[in-house]
Amino acid sequence: MAVRRRYKSLAAAGIATAMTLTLASCSGGPGGSDDVTLKLVAADYGDNAANSSKHYWDGVVRAFEAKHPNIKVDVDVYSWEDVDKEVEKRVEAGNAPDMAQIGAYADYAAEGKLYSADDLLSISTQADFTPGLADAGEYHRVQYGLPFGASTRRLFYNKKLFAQAGIDNPPKTWSDIKQDAQLLKDAGVKTPFALPLGPEETQAETMIWMLSGGGGYTDSIGKYTIDSRQNVQTFKWVKDNLVTPGLTGGDPAKLNRQAGFDAFADGKVGMLNGHPTLMQQAKAKGVDYGTVALPGINGPAKSTMGVADWMMGFKQHGHRAEIGKFLDFVYDKDNVLKFSGDYGLLPVTVSASQGMLAEDKYKKLHSFLRQLPDAEFYPADKTSWPLVSKTVKAKMGGAVGSGGDPQQVLTDIENTANEADSATR
């Protein structure tokens, strides 16, 4: 769950930032008159050369350099499979990029390698971040991770298959899910409810179910609660009511998220939890679908899962002022809205969110966007989280499979999490 943010006096922060900028300019350091070339390593949100994120960054850089001729920006775009490893490689080689737009920031923050948001951004830019996303970017109550792309989760359902099974309304509760899945199975649907607990993104599906059952990975102060009573009850229910009766179409431990998305887009899945990019995939295949808030035990879940990717600024080359100028430009309302609209993501700023809600062309994203302020995020502020996520990927599929024991698996993961958390303090 999101760590509660420590709010500071914006006026005090503004004075401190202004003083720092002035001193840097007077000393001939960052902010001086010399030409500077910034290096940015960014993730690719496209799925082919035609819609690669490189095109987005080319446009942003061109517009920025026209306003700031003494600051050049070189952007290297890598696939999501490679981008985190590329940044890690550069950092370990002693040549960190000035900026990185990747999946996690906490390790670099813990090592003292990053500028804080206060170091880099104007007060107006900081204040424009959606609060829950700003919270999720904190390490030890200081924001180092700047949210870049975001999404939330909703339950997708195939309207045609629902109609063929005689289902008039989408599910609102777990009981509805079980009943509807059985009706879909009786109507010949091979996968009534796709449950992707394979190694690709098990940590996401796991968190979705935790939240819908009133639990989560951590409590409000950031302590792991993986084997809580709520979480154990949730996965016992999933095992007994969906997997064992054969309503998931196979072994969840062998189903990856993308395979589940592909099957839904092919019209072979009745229901699954998904994020906004599934809408584009389903539309391309002509699937008539709907989305609803995640069903909970007795009604819609109180919160949904949110996911954010992160921008960060590295200290190594000392280009603090120039990085700040570029990032203030990147987080301009129009730039944030264009990026989000181009790639089916949710804006990370209040101004761009309001802009998206005001435009009918983004109507299908509105229900996802309205959930964002109250969404819960991975505990990305914890340096132990990568190991915990890896452990969840390896074990959670087996917890609900034949012979699986949710209590034992969740306790094993909890023990691993607590040991890792203690070791990184």
pLDDT by residue (tens digit) across 303-328?
A: 999 999 999 999 999 999 999 999 99
The pLDDT value recorded for residue 280 is 87
The verdict on 208 and 143 lying in the same domain is no
The verdict on 104 and 22 lying in the same domain is yes
Using alpha carbons, select from 83, 92, 81, 100 the residue that is nearest to residue 40.
100
The verdict on 251 and 296 lying in the same domain is yes
The verdict on 183 and 293 lying in the same domain is yes
DSSP letter at 261 equals H
* C-alpha angle 212-214-145 in degrees, rounded to nearest 5: 80
Q: Residue 417: which domain range?
A: 154-303+384-423
The pLDDT value recorded for residue 329 is 98
The verdict on 346 and 413 lying in the same domain is no
The verdict on 244 and 358 lying in the same domain is no
The pLDDT value recorded for residue 21 is 38
Task: Give the tens place of pLDDT for each residue, 32-72.
Answer: 447 999 999 999 998 788 889 999 999 999 999 999 999 99
**How crowded is the C-beta side of 26, counted as CA atoms within 13 Å?**
6
Helix (H) or strand (E) holding 81: none
| Neighbour order of strands in the sheet with 289-292 | 191-193, 269-274, 154-158, 289-292
- CATH code of the domain containing 207: 3.40.190.10
The verdict on 108 and 180 lying in the same domain is no
- Alpha-carbon distance of 115 to 318, in angstroms, equals 10
What parts of the chain have a pLDDT lower than 50?
1-33
Task: Give the tens place of pLDDT for each residue, 353-379.
Answer: 999 999 999 999 999 999 999 999 999
The pLDDT value recorded for residue 425 is 62
- Alpha-carbon distance of 1 to 219, in angstroms, equals 6
Number of domains the chain contains: 2
The verdict on 112 and 226 lying in the same domain is no
In a domain, 78, yes or no: yes
Helical H segments across 189-312, by residue range: 202-212, 229-238, 257-265, 277-284
The verdict on 207 and 256 lying in the same domain is yes
The verdict on 205 and 350 lying in the same domain is no
In a domain, 5, yes or no: no
The verdict on 239 and 284 lying in the same domain is yes
Alpha carbon separation from 202 to 20, 230, 267, 392 (Å, rounded): 44, 18, 23, 7
The verdict on 32 and 161 lying in the same domain is no
The pLDDT value recorded for residue 48 is 83
The pLDDT value recorded for residue 423 is 81
The pLDDT value recorded for residue 422 is 87
